[in-house]
Amino acid sequence: MNHPGKCRHLHGHSARVSITLKSEQLNDQGMVCDFSDIKQFAGQWIDDTFDHNMLLHKDDPILASLQQAGERVMVVDEHPTAEFLAKMIFDYVAGGGFPVSNVSVWETDSANASYSGS
């Protein structure tokens, strides 16, 4: 919304997410975390939350029309940028007790945004 470029138009992405975990110690299996545990926890939530879902800023003028039409819409207080999505995923993974240090959201093979927390 209010973007000067072509991204001002409704559009979607097929993003890739990279989650980096960090720990001072390894568990008894020699890992920070089993990849299947983080994949199950974060992957399922990412699919349930974002897959085939329109993310719109709460002030977007098209919002009411899409809601009235019964479209699946996630309303957010900030612009749904890759940076915003990286922070959302970071916060979810950290809230699950995983030692997340960074989340990157790749919109294309050459464009990504990362969030590393405070």
For 8, 48, 97, the CA distances from 45, given in Å and listed in that order, are 27, 5, 15
* Model confidence at 9: pLDDT above 60: no
Residue holding tokens 């999505």?
Answer: 85
Chain-wide mean pLDDT for the chain? 90
| 11-69 pLDDT per residue, tens | 666 789 999 999 999 999 999 999 999 999 999 999 999 998 999 999 999 999 999 99
Confidence of residue 116 (pLDDT cuts 50, 70, 90): very high
Residue 8 has pLDDT above 70, yes or no: no
pLDDT (mean) for 66-91 = 94
Tell me, what's the pLDDT at 117? Answer: 82
What does the pLDDT read at residue 78?
94
What pTM was computed for the model?
Answer: 0.86
* Spatial distance between the Cα atoms of 104 and 102, rounded to a whole number of angstroms: 7
Q: Six-digit token pair at 12?
A: 């979607």
CATH fold of the domain at 13-115: Tetrahydropterin Synthase; Chain A (3.30.479)
- Helix (H) / strand (E) element for 35: namely helix 35-38
Q: What is the pLDDT of residue 2?
A: 62
pLDDT at 86: 97
